[in-house]
């Protein structure tokens, strides 16, 4: 049985779900349209160039979550999924997901985008396992802070190792072959965590050997 790991933005989706949420908020005047649009775009450009300040970005992204009721957030999210996400789900991504599903593989999405947005997207893709950046919640409302380690760069490695530790009863008693589908979305320089020696820590529990199979799809026309 293989563990097939997928990135989300610009891989299974033909766009960036975090950036598109910011656009949705601005277009619907849920936030100040011009200033939020400009800041959202600036963060997106930083992300693409590998210079994103993740803490500043998360403070920006989580502020609307903290300022609004869960009822409103859920209504906006449902509309956002219809308007921004469903049209950009990539058919070839769905084909690859189904290929791994038919093989009996365990499917996992790892993304830097927050779990408020990505949990329903994973449900749309029928993928049960998700590692995402988690916003903190207290008494039924978001606090505006991050909970735990952001799923970003080396944080993805840490979160994945933790996920494997938690799920070892489920998958590690069988030899694991980790497939990273389209290692990251745009260019390899944005994903130093893929190239680090941290990956050999993710070992086959049967053979004791590292068995990471990089299924590099990011030139495949997704």
| Gap between the Cα atoms of 53 and 142, Å rounded | 21
Query: How much helix, strand and coil, in percent to the nearest 5, is found in the chain?
Result: 50, 20, 30
Q: Is 76 exposed, middle or buried (0-12, 13-18, 19+ CB in 10 A)?
A: middle
Active site residue 9: yes
Letter string b/e over residues 86-123, b meaning 16 or more CB atoms within 10 A of that residue's CB: eeeebeebeebbeebeeeebbbbbbbbbbbbbbebbbe
9, 16, 18, 105: the catalytic one is: 9
Active site residue 7: yes
Q: Which residues are catalytic?
A: 7, 9
């Amino acid at each position: 049985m293989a563990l097939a790991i997928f990135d989300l933005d610009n891989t299974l989706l033909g766009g960036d779900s975090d950036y598109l949420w910011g656009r949705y908020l601005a277009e619907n005047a849920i936030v100040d349209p011009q200033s939020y649009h400009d800041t959202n775009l600036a963060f997106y450009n930083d992300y693409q160039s590998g210079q994103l300040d993740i803490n500043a970005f998360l403070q920006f992204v989580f502020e609307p979550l903290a300022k609004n009721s869960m009822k409103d957030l859920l209504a906006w999210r449902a509309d956002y999924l219809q308007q921004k996400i469903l049209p950009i789900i990539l058919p070839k991504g769905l084909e690859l997901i189904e290929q791994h599903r038919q093989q009996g593989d365990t499917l996992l999405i790892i993304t830097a985008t927050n779990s408020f947005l990505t949990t329903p997207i994973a449900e749309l893709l029928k993928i049960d396992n998700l590692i995402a950046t988690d916003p903190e919640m207290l008494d039924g409302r978001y606090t505006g802070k991050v909970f735990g380690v952001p799923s970003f760069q080396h944080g993805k490695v840490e979160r994945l190792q933790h996920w494997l530790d938690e799920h070892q009863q489920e998958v590690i008693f069988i030899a694991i072959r980790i497939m990273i589908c389209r290692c990251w979305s745009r260019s390899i320089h944005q994903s130093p965590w893929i190239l680090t020696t941290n990956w050999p820590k993710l070992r086959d529990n049967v053979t004791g050997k590292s068995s990471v199979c990089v299924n590099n799809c990011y030139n495949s026309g997704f």
